[in-house]
Amino acid sequence: MNAMAFNKRFEILALLILVVNNVAAQKKDGLGASFIFGDSLVDAGNNNYLSTLSKANIPPNGIDFKASGGNPTGRYTNGRTIGDIVGEELGQPNYAVPFLAPNATGKAILYGVNYASGGGGILNATGRIFVNRIGLDIQVDYFSITRKEIDKLLGESKAKEYIMKKSIFSITVGANDFLNNYLLPVLSIGARISQSPDGFIDDMITHFRAQLTRLYELDARKFVIGNVGPIGCIPYQKTINQLNEDECVDLANKLALQYNARLKDLLAELNDNLPGATFVLANVFELVMELIKNYDKYGFTTASRACCGNGGQFAGIIPCGPTSSMCTDRYKHVFWDPYHPSEAANLILAKQLLDGDNRYISPINLRQLRDL
């Protein structure tokens, strides 16, 4: 081999090593912090520290959560939430710690913090049926405490850059504003007489705009916002309304779609008006509806019956707890309990949010958001 050919090969090899090292460095780099806001779909244990009627720190919740050895953690599912799975996939070494947990201090918060609370909503009155819960206003207040802590840990300029460039803010909220506020049997009839669906949704959007703007003012720049899923199709709604397996509650789904259309407009407005921010919309409604309609295609045997619960034909009235009946094939159920998806469903949902196209996540997916 002549010297020229040898040099050429050496250059190509050196280039390949450089590329491989770069890719490895990027992977190692991963996501800095995941800040998670919302309701029981993503609560990782905040409600354990509240006197509330909405709790999931009882078996068999968490039975498939490997990090706790199958013990309940306060997650409202059998395993990981969507927030857990997304964080793992984006290269986070640890799960975001619940804000109210005693270990949510020091360097642990640099991986992210989870502020979500079962029963919480956009509006402060939402979830009052549970006595205590953390609504989104208070969750943002809590983040402002974390924000000051990060300043102390990293110094102000590094902290600002870390929050702006290395952190993702995910917010999954809105379902409780309908289920545990506007649509509450008996308790909400007064509200429905005094406020039209349009007026109620207006209220939600006005509050949400203010909450997202506050996060932006605290240096949040990369946002993923989930819309409201098909709440009329959850086992609880099917059971109390005595529906057939393939039916859903029309009013609940109509309200969700009406809110979702307004949310899409709100995020477009914020993308235009808040410089440097990227608001990504996760189309949870379509994603979950796809699983419910075509459950067998994804390896599930039912999308209407809760794996863990009691009451009615879909085990949809009494939440999951030690006295509940539990299915043996947890990975074949779209729903873990009367309200929440199973880990198997969460894995499919998370995969679409991470790598999916505009039908489910737009304008970019979560891997692209991380790398912005």
Among 40, 54, 117, 304, the one annotated catalytic: 40
Among 34, 117, 340, 342, the one annotated catalytic: 340
Three-state DSSP at 299 gives coil
Is 333 catalytic? The answer is no
Rounded to a whole number of angstroms, the CA Rg of the chain reads 22
Cβ proximity of 123 and 181 under 8 Å: yes
Q: Name the one residue in this structure whose structure tokens are 């029963």.
A: 119
Q: Name the one residue in this structure whose structure tokens are 């509330």.
A: 52
Is 39 catalytic? The answer is no
End-to-end Cα distance, the chain: 44
> At 114, phi and psi to the nearest 5?
-105, 120
What the block records as the tokens of 316 is 């949809």
Residues 6+ apart with CB under 8 A from 360: 282, 283, 286, 287, 352, 353
Cβ proximity of 296 and 317 under 8 Å: no
- Is there a cis peptide before residue 60, judged by omega within 30 degrees of 0? yes
DSSP conformation class of 302? B
Question: Where do the DSSP E strands lie in 249-352?
Answer: 278-282, 308-309, 325-326
Is 40 catalytic? The answer is yes
Residues 6+ apart with CB under 8 A from 294: none
CB atoms within 10 A of CB 102: 8
Q: How far is CA 280 from CA 17, 80, 354, 363, in A?
A: 35, 22, 12, 6
Q: Name the one residue in this structure whose structure tokens are 């050196």.
A: 14
In 3D space, the residue among 40, 34, 75, 329 whose CA is nearest the CA of residue 170 turns out to be: 34
Among 39, 84, 177, 337, the one annotated catalytic: 337
d(CA 91, CA 88): 5
Catalytic center residues:
40, 337, 340
